[in-house]
Structure 1
Amino acid sequence: MATTSANPDFFKTKVLGHPSGLFVLFFTEMWERFSFYGMRVLLVNFLTMAIAGVDMPGWGWSSENAGALFGTYAGLLYLTPILGGMIADRYIGYRWAIVIGAAIMTLGHAAMAVETEFMLYLGLGLLVIGTGFFKPNMTSIISQMYKDLPEKKDGAYTIFYMGVNAGAFFGMMLCGYLAEKIGWSWGFGLAGIFMLLGTLQFWMAKPLFGTIGDVPDKAKKDAEIDATEKRNPFTTIDKILIVITSLIGVLYIFNDPLSKIGKINILPQEFLVSKDTLTGPLVVIITGLVLFLFLVISRILRYEPVVRDRMFAFIVFAFFTVFFWLSFEQAATSLVIFARDFTDRTLDGNSLVIFNIVNTLLTVIPLAIITWVLVLLFKQTRSQILRSNITLFICFGLMWGIVIWMLYREFTSTASEVTVSWFSILNSFFIIVFASLYTRWWDSKYNPSAAVKYGLGLIIMGLGYAVLAYGASVIPQGAVAGTVRVSMIWLILAYLFHTLGELCLAPVGLSYVSKLVPPRMIAFMFGMWYLGIAIGNKLAASVGGMIDDVVRDYDMTTFFLIFTLVPIVAGSCIMLLNPVLKKLMHGVK
């Protein structure tokens, strides 16, 4: 059954050349990302902020402990979508999964606002569960929408990715500002309010989607499977390996923060080899990875040749994704600490006036553009989803009010300190600025192959850290927080390079997953894609938490050079694999 027949009018109401429904998903993802990144930018800063001696005291954790907790949280955020994708695929459909996930996340944000240790862990747990339902199924709906329009997918995913980053931009800016200037609970609470409103507007837009994302009809789903897709049932060995590798992964991801924060070890400290050679947890996780690779490769070999080759290409892309997120996700840990403790953020006089003008343009122009998109959506869909549109206008009215209050407060102050969270918004701002240029590039005759896009993304990412390593060269070995501060320009340039690299890799990565994976496995394989991101996030937080140790034993430049060399080497390798990957993809562009 063609996608368009699910609702013939769906593709008649268009905004900026794409179906209006894409922009409903755009705003749904925007509010979810507002909430997620609004909380994310606060967490490590809140946990590691000094207990006393500052205006906004935190919990005084070490960077290692904060990194361990955040890494486990971030890793689980990308693991639960595997299960959530399977449940949606087989039982409840994509739309219900999104609503259930969003509701659970709303409760999680509410718990975070309480600021007790129990509620912190409860809130993080609810966010992990809710994300499992929400995350894979947003992209699955887009894949279903564009099933018969594959040439439009890259552009659609890039627009969708702009929604992701618009939400991240305003979430980090507004939640971060309220948290650092007024109180932590205000920042955590605002994230929950917009999560709730985003859930309501998506549910009210149901008439626009027809049967897209409905509860699956098993007989119809089986009938739509391509004739080249031979069923590949799980064998007994497959199931045993799934249980073993899943158990190992879960034990490791929880053992890391438990052993560091609570001094509780759920994995043996010695296993097979001496603790002085390799720690027990490391041996266990290496064993689990070997078993997992055996499971994946053995299953792929049982597919038909074309499907098999494309799945191998998918695995290669997922593997190199780990190296990208290992470096990129320093933004949640080490770069937050670097911005707070080693970056000069104090402004007064002319520098404050210039910053306020730039910050106003930085805030108002993107908000005005996205409000204009909302108006376009309203004109196209007001007769179909009026309540959804009204809810969106309420969201934007609230956000405009907070922005105007924030800007007024800053313009009337004689001296100010740029918030730590402000630097994190630069990534999202640059994406909003440059995403349309990349969309035109991908739609032109100069559109590079998937491997080249990946290679460029990784290499440009590495160059961003090279700039930061150079800027941090004045920070000596063993520097104490606050004793040496560098210019803000180095962080700004680093985020620019990181964004240019991200636009080459992240949004088109989602598009290639949908092109290479068999339709009946799409949500599950999106979950597998997120597994690669989960590993990258966990590694990023664990390594990022070592920033204090590396600076004490070496220096800050050495720390950033790690994230310079790793992505550049990885990017060069995947570009060399370009001819092989082209053959494996069998004509997928």
Structure 2
Amino acid sequence: MDNNANDQFFKDKVLGHPAGLFVLFFTEMWERFSYYGMRAILVIFLTGLLTDENPGWEWTSSAALSLLGTYAMLVYLTPLMGGWLADNKIGYKRAVVIGALLMTLGHAAMAVETPTFLYIGIAFLILGNGFFKPNMTSIISKMYEGHDEKKDGAYNIFYMGVNAGAFIGIMLCGWVGEKIGWSYGFGLAGIFMLLGMLQFYFAQPLFGSIGDKPVKSKSEEGAESNVHRNEASIKLNHFIPIDYLLIGIFTISALIFIINDPLSKIGNIQTFNFTVAGMTDSLFFALLAAITFILLLIIRMPRYVAIERDKMIAFAIFCLFTIFFWAAFEQAAGSLPIYTRDYTNRVLEGGAATTFKIVDLIVTVVPLGIITFVLLSLFRKTFNRIGLSNLILGSSFVIVWAIVIYKLYIEFQSTETEVPVTWFAILNSLFIIMFAPLFTKWWDSKYNPPASVKYFLGLFLLGIGFGFLAFGAKDVPAGAQTASLSMAWLVLAYLFHTLGELCLSPMGLSYLSKLIPPRMIAFMFGVYYLAIAIGNKLAHYVGGDIEKITNEHGLSTFFLIFTFIPIGIGVISLLLHPLLKKLMHGVR
């Protein structure tokens, strides 16, 4: 794209950036609102008692987390297909609209509160995420072509929208779901997904031809042929029959595991109904998939040019660390809500209740006030061009403010306060907003640590967070169904988990861009997303045993698993520093 063509986007600026960036900011914010809002209440709804005032379905934690794990895993895999479709067939803007519409239908289906509609809803959410997720950042990348010096700031603003959406979504969907009714919580997520989609759809005049259906010009076709000619001079690592065989075994085994695991735990449906060396069919196929994928990497990597091979091995090691990190970190969506509900004293009285209400008011109103200021700034610059989009966006904020005021009114009426289970999940977004600027300054300074140290810090801090939970639960006897532990342990856990995330999470894509040659980016991007997907599934596969481990060994033992394993893997990262430094060939 001609750089001068992109200058038009910088004429109408909001906070120094094109107005179109803030349309994307709010679209992504509503999508994250709906995703995190739904996820915050899913497990506590599924495992809630049938006899409560706001009854759940009384599923076992194993069944609930098995479903959540399969959902979370597929959420990270479908964007690979959605990104390809947008790049080659339908364009980014259409993909975003299709994805948002599918997710709206998904949330609406979940609000019906029947098993059939739950599964239909989750299927729509997975497919919709595949269309939506990869293409928002693609539009930003195209918008800022020729303005690379502004890209870092643009992505920082965009990811603030991600955290703002997660923050508000967890707070409002969580409160509405727990205090009013689960259907209303799921429905609220769907309403804002729909409003976000409509706001984006009617703002498309701001984006011009960016994100339209791709049409290759002759010059692009000529450039592509030149790339192919250039690649012909490079020693390419073509796929051979053994590669395809391993990919086939891996794909089939992984799909069997992904589908069979929730089927067996929710409906007691055993797809193959066999055991091997004491392993269930689900676990057998999971291990088969893991072994074949490792074999594929071992067979393919030696066939690359030496320096490329070394860098890809280094990145593969980072992907392995990534699996272990997310396997522990994602307990926040599965086992931690169960711990919060059943083992934490969330009832506050007197001065403690008043203090919490004031803190809750500040952390709710201040971020929302700042985002509303950004909204008004966007209105002033774009109302003449995209008035309908602005009206839809404004209406969504009126609804948010109305719910927030009602929530605060209800909370301040009571002398006793029960902190919602979902309230603690907002701490992650809150801590990210607080500490991300400090970590950015650290990484930009001369004290920026090497990759192995960053991975060590991320895993070590994550393990320490679980260590607080293990220490807090040390006196809870094995088999206890409830306890009254201090909320302070949860706050400390979320703080250290977030600090660990800030050390490790941004590193994956950064080292992908630095270590992997351009022609291999797509393949290794898939490997990286696969690592996160495996971590998410593994998190809830292990986390689903919270009831079993707590009954047999105690709650503290459950959290010690997630204390020692991340710290141990972190120490391995430190010990591998000399090897990783050599493999990275000067890349920092």
* Fold similarity call, TM over 0.5: yes
1:457 CA displacement: 1.6
Kindly provide the amino acid, as one letter, of the partner of residue 44 in structure 1.
V
Which residue number corresponds to residue 248 of structure 2?
Answer: 243
Give the Cα–Cα distance (whole angstroms) in 2 for the partners of residues 94 and 518 of structure 1. 25
Give the Cα–Cα distance (whole angstroms) in 1 for the partners of residues 366 and 169 of structure 2. 16
Q: 1:533 to 1:151 in 2, by over 3 A?
A: farther
Q: 1:517 to 1:342 in 2, by over 3 A?
A: same
**2:91 aligns with one of 90, 93, 115:** 93
Q: Secondary structure of the equivalent of 1:474?
A: coil
Which range is displaced more, 352-361 or 202-211?
202-211
Residues 455 and 573, structure 2, Cα contact 8 Å, conserved in 1: yes
Which residue number corresponds to residue 549 of structure 1?
Answer: 548
Kindly provide the amino acid, as one letter, of the partner of residue 7 in structure 1.
N
Q: Secondary structure of the equivalent of 2:91?
A: helix
**1:182 aligns with one of 165, 180, 183:** 180
Q: 1:299 to 1:195 in 2, by over 3 A?
A: farther
Give the Cα–Cα distance (whole angstroms) in 2 for the partners of residues 150 and 300 of structure 1. 33
Q: 1:403 to 1:507 in 2, by over 3 A?
A: farther
Q: Secondary structure of the equivalent of 2:433?
A: helix
1:578 CA displacement: 4.2
Give the Cα–Cα distance (whole angstroms) in 2 for the partners of residues 464 and 49 of structure 1. 26
Q: Secondary structure of the equivalent of 2:449?
A: coil
Which residue number corresponds to residue 437 of structure 2?
Answer: 436
Q: Secondary structure of the equivalent of 1:60?
A: coil
Which range is displaced more, 531-540 or 573-582?
573-582
Q: 1:385 to 1:76 in 2, by over 3 A?
A: same
Which range is displaced more, 382-391 or 157-166?
382-391
Kindly provide the amino acid, as one letter, of the partner of residue 89 in structure 2.
Y
Cα-to-partner distance string for 1:54-86 (whole Å, 9 max, x where unaligned): 221111111111111111111111122222222
1:142 CA displacement: 4.1
- Is 2:510 aligned against 1:505? no
Kindly provide the amino acid, as one letter, of the partner of residue 266 in structure 1.
T
**1:118 aligns with one of 101, 116, 119:** 116
Give the Cα–Cα distance (whole angstroms) in 2 for the partners of residues 303 and 414 of structure 1. 68
Give the Cα–Cα distance (whole angstroms) in 2 for the partners of residues 585 and 297 of structure 1. 18
Q: How does 1:200-215 map to 2 (within 5 A)?
A: 200-215=198-213
Give the Cα–Cα distance (whole angstroms) in 2 for the partners of residues 144 and 210 of structure 1. 11
Give the Cα–Cα distance (whole angstroms) in 1 for the partners of residues 570 and 504 of structure 2. 11
Which residue number corresponds to residue 321 of structure 1?
Answer: 322
Give the Cα–Cα distance (whole angstroms) in 2 for the partners of residues 205 and 151 of structure 1. 25
Q: 1:566 to 1:268 in 2, by over 3 A?
A: same
Residues 169 and 189, structure 2, Cα contact 8 Å, conserved in 1: yes
Which residue number corresponds to residue 47 of structure 1?
Answer: 46
Which range is displaced more, 394-403 or 209-218?
209-218
Which range is displaced more, 321-330 or 288-297?
288-297
Q: Secondary structure of the equivalent of 1:199?
A: helix
Q: How does 1:67-466 map to 2 (within 5 A)?
A: 67-144=65-142, 156-218=154-216, 220=220, 223=223, 234-271=239-276, 274-275=277-278, 278-296=279-297, 298-299=299-300, 308-382=309-383, 384-466=385-467
Q: Secondary structure of the equivalent of 1:416?
A: strand
Q: Secondary structure of the equivalent of 2:423?
A: helix
Q: 1:395 to 1:226 in 2, by over 3 A?
A: farther
Residues 508 and 528, structure 2, Cα contact 8 Å, conserved in 1: no
1:259 CA displacement: 1.1
Cα-to-partner distance string for 1:285-315 (whole Å, 9 max, x where unaligned): 2222222233345555555666555444433
Residues 514 and 587, structure 2, Cα contact 8 Å, conserved in 1: yes
Which residue number corresponds to residue 470 of structure 2?
Answer: 469
Residues 254 and 289, structure 2, Cα contact 8 Å, conserved in 1: yes
Q: 1:210 to 1:242 in 2, by over 3 A?
A: farther
Q: 1:153 to 1:445 in 2, by over 3 A?
A: farther
1:492 CA displacement: 0.9
Q: How many residues align?
A: 581
Q: 1:35 to 1:313 in 2, by over 3 A?
A: same
Give the Cα–Cα distance (whole angstroms) in 2 for the partners of residues 366 and 15 of structure 1. 18
Give the Cα–Cα distance (whole angstroms) in 1 for the partners of residues 48 and 418 of structure 2. 16
Residues 9 and 143, structure 2, Cα contact 8 Å, conserved in 1: no
Q: Secondary structure of the equivalent of 2:506?
A: helix
Give the Cα–Cα distance (whole angstroms) in 2 for the partners of residues 221 and 417 of structure 1. 63
Kindly provide the amino acid, as one letter, of the partner of residue 551 in structure 1.
T
Q: Which runs of 5+ in 1 are unaligned?
A: none
Residues 83 and 524, structure 1, Cα contact 8 Å, conserved in 2: no
Q: Secondary structure of the equivalent of 1:446?
A: coil
Which residue number corresponds to residue 10 of structure 1?
Answer: 9
Which residue number corresponds to residue 35 of structure 2?
Answer: 36
Kindly provide the amino acid, as one letter, of the partner of residue 416 in structure 1.
T
Q: How does 1:504-583 map to 2 (within 5 A)?
A: 504-517=503-516, 525-582=524-581
Cα-to-partner distance string for 1:321-346 (whole Å, 9 max, x where unaligned): 11111111101111101100000011
1:406 CA displacement: 0.5
1:443 CA displacement: 3.4
Q: Secondary structure of the equivalent of 1:55?
A: coil
Kindly provide the amino acid, as one letter, of the partner of residue 294 in structure 1.
L
1:91 CA displacement: 1.8
Residues 322 and 532, structure 2, Cα contact 8 Å, conserved in 1: yes
Identity value in percent: 59
Q: Which runs of 5+ in 2 are unaligned?
A: none
Give the Cα–Cα distance (whole angstroms) in 2 for the partners of residues 303 and 32 of structure 1. 40
Residues 269 and 281, structure 1, Cα contact 8 Å, conserved in 2: no
Q: CA RMSD in A?
A: 2.8
1:260 CA displacement: 1.5
1:216 CA displacement: 3.2
The TM-score normalised by the length of structure 1 is 0.90
1:110 CA displacement: 0.4
1:26 CA displacement: 2.5
Q: 1:196 to 1:494 in 2, by over 3 A?
A: same
The TM-score normalised by the length of structure 2 is 0.90
Give the Cα–Cα distance (whole angstroms) in 2 for the partners of residues 511 and 252 of structure 1. 31
1:156 CA displacement: 4.6
Kindly provide the amino acid, as one letter, of the partner of residue 286 in structure 2.
I
Cα-to-partner distance string for 1:42-64 (whole Å, 9 max, x where unaligned): 11101111111x22111111111
Kindly provide the amino acid, as one letter, of the partner of residue 562 in structure 2.
F
1:35 CA displacement: 0.3
Q: 1:307 to 1:11 in 2, by over 3 A?
A: farther
1:515 CA displacement: 4.7
Q: Secondary structure of the equivalent of 1:473?
A: coil
Which range is displaced more, 354-363 or 311-320?
311-320
Q: Secondary structure of the equivalent of 1:7?
A: helix
Give the Cα–Cα distance (whole angstroms) in 1 for the partners of residues 161 and 493 of structure 2. 22
Kindly provide the amino acid, as one letter, of the partner of residue 85 in structure 2.
I
1:93 CA displacement: 2.6
Q: 1:405 to 1:521 in 2, by over 3 A?
A: farther
Give the Cα–Cα distance (whole angstroms) in 1 for the partners of residues 341 and 382 of structure 2. 45
